[in-house]
Structure formats: structure tokens, C-alpha cells
Structure 1
Amino acid sequence: MSSQSHPEAASKATVDPVPDARRLTDAVTRLRRALRASIRSDYPWETLPMAQVELLQVLGEHSPARVGDLAARQRLAPSTVSGLIGQMMTSGLVAREVDPADRRASVVTLTDAGREQLAAWTQAHERRLDAALHALDGDERAALGVALPALFHLAEYLGEPPADSPTD
């Protein structure tokens, strides 16, 4: 999408009194909303609530995990995560097992169905984003590519651990 198709974008690019933090907040909010809406319209079979999808993503990277660890990673109350886990167990996406390191505790793992659901969701989103990225012109795609490392760094600064670093 070029600045010609969005005149307000062209005028903001030259003189923008709106702080970068507000513009970034608006962009991230709009992007998340658009992604949620597009996955539901383009892939109507997808019915998982985003909270469950995000939990599947965390478990895809850090499994098995205790409920408290999942809650800390998601910045949610343990009772909230426990409720989500219960719903996901009913759907067959996750299972609780005894923690081999502490038999008094339990851990949550992805089931085969959970891994399949996560893979399907990820592939659908990647296809959707790939199509959207190809709709942008080359300069816009290049600008996004240059911005990605800074966005990851910003997420780390805000408290999101890198995908490969444990928080345990």
C-alpha cells in the first residue's frame, strides 16, 4: 500500500506532531486487530480464542511447562491460565502430566492435536501475512525488513524474553 492510497499517511510522513509511541501503539493495535479478523474471515475453520492460540504458541516453544511458568510468560494470573488449560484439555489440545523434576507438581504439554492445530494456525497466518506483504511495494517491504530487528529489540526491552532464552 503506497502513500498515494492513504493521503493521511503522506501528510503524516512530512510533518507528524503525534509522538512515535502513540503511532507505534496505533499500528500494533490495528495490525493485531486486522490479523485476528483476517484469520477468521479467510480461514473460518479457525475458532480458537486468541488467548488459547497464544498459549499454544508458548507451549510450542517451552513445553512441558508448569502453569505458573506459563502465567508468568503470558503475564496472566495463574487462575486465568489454569482455566485456559482446562478448556484446552477438554478440546484435546494439551495434557497435564506429573512434573518429572517434582512429582508433587504437574506440567502442561501439547498433544499431537495441539501441535497440529498450532501448525495449521501458524501456516494460515504466514500465508495471510505473505499475501499482505506482497501487496506492499518494494520500498515498504524493505522498510519492514529493516524495522524487524528493532521491533524484536523493543519487545525484549519491554520485558518479552527472546524466543530462545528461558525464564526459569
Structure 2
Amino acid sequence: MNHLSSAARIRRGLVRLNRRLRQERGDGSLSPGRLEVLGHLHRNGAATPGEVAAALRQRPQSLTRVFAELEAEGLLAREAGTADRRRSVLSVTDAGRSALERDMAERDAWLARALASLSPTERGVLELAAELMERVADTETLG
């Protein structure tokens, strides 16, 4: 199997699993856009709206409404920057962290049940694959 067909097969598997994980989210779960913003801030710490947009490969204007909605719901805090008071800094609130944890817990519970049907060796292969996918995701674009 060549690298291209291998890449296509892995992509298809990831897309299907991602779709299934989205289906396992309960009512009242965070929208994908909100989840992405809160998840980024949770993993990487406070950041300016521009930094969040750049990390998510979006234009800041595209996320303005998401930022405002998260702030209005108390899931995200906005404070004036220390170096430049005109630039705001976004961070996840305790309520935002709780919302993220609830959202992840629902999907993790489904995945744990699905993994229970696999052999220990198969689960080990998937754990190794998860580690490798993290490395691939962190690979800089060549070109």
C-alpha cells in the first residue's frame, strides 16, 4: 500500500470516528465552534482573539460572535491586556471548564464502551495510533 492510499484510509477512519463522536454528544452540548475555542484556550491558556483565530486557522472576524456568545454565557472571560490595554485577552472560566468537561465526558463514555469490545492488543494499537496522530497533527506543513 502506498503512502497516498494509506493516508486516504486513515483520513476516512478519522472522519467516520469524528462523525460518530459528534453524534454521541448530548442535548445542550457546545457547538463545534464553541468547543473548538474553549478547547484551545483550555489547552493553551489565555490568548488574544487574534491568537485564537490564528491557531484555529480562521479570521478573527469569523469568531467574533462565538467569543461574544461564550462571554455572555459566562464560559469565557475577556480582560484588557497588560502590555496593551486596547487588546483583550480571553480565558476559560470555571463554568467554561465544566462545560468542556461535561461535553468530553459524554464522548469519552461512548468511546470507552466501544473500546471494551476490542482485545487488549487492539486497544494498545489504538493507543499507539493516538500518540502517532498527535505527532502527525503537530507536523509543520511542508511545501
Distance 1:142 1:61 in 2: 25
Distance 2:16 2:6 in 1: 15
Give the 3-state SS of the residue equivalent to 1:19 in structure 2: helix
Give 1:130 deviation, angstroms: 1.4
Percent identity between the two aligned chains: 31
1:143 aligns with 2:125: yes
Distance 1:158 1:28 in 2: 20
Residues matched between the structures, number: 140
Q: Which of residues 130, 134, 137 in structure 2 aligns to 1:152?
A: 134
User: What TM-score do you get using the length of structure 1 for normalisation?
Assistant: 0.75
- Alignment gaps of 5+ in structure 1: 1-14, 160-168
Give 1:111 deviation, angstroms: 1.9
The CA RMSD measured in Å over matched residues stands at 2.0
Q: Which of residues 1, 8, 14 in structure 2 aligns to 1:28?
A: 14
Q: Which moved more, 1:105-114 or 1:123-132?
A: 123-132
Aligned runs of 1:1-168 on 2, under 5 Å? 19-39=5-25, 43-46=26-29, 48-158=30-140
Q: Which moved more, 1:141-150 or 1:21-30?
A: 141-150
Distance 1:104 1:38 in 2: 41
Q: Per-residue CA shift, 1:96-143, capped at 9, x if unaligned?
A: 110112212111111221121112222222222211111222332121
* Amino acid in the other structure paired with 1:144: L
Runs of 4+ in 1 over 4 A off after TM superposition: none
Higher relative contact order (CA 8 A, sep 6+): 2
Structure-2 change in CA distance of 1:56 and 1:149 (3 Å):
same
Choose 1 or 2 for highest CA Rg: 1
C-alpha contact (below 8 Å) 2:71/2:77 kept by paired residues: yes
User: What TM-score do you get using the length of structure 2 for normalisation?
Assistant: 0.87
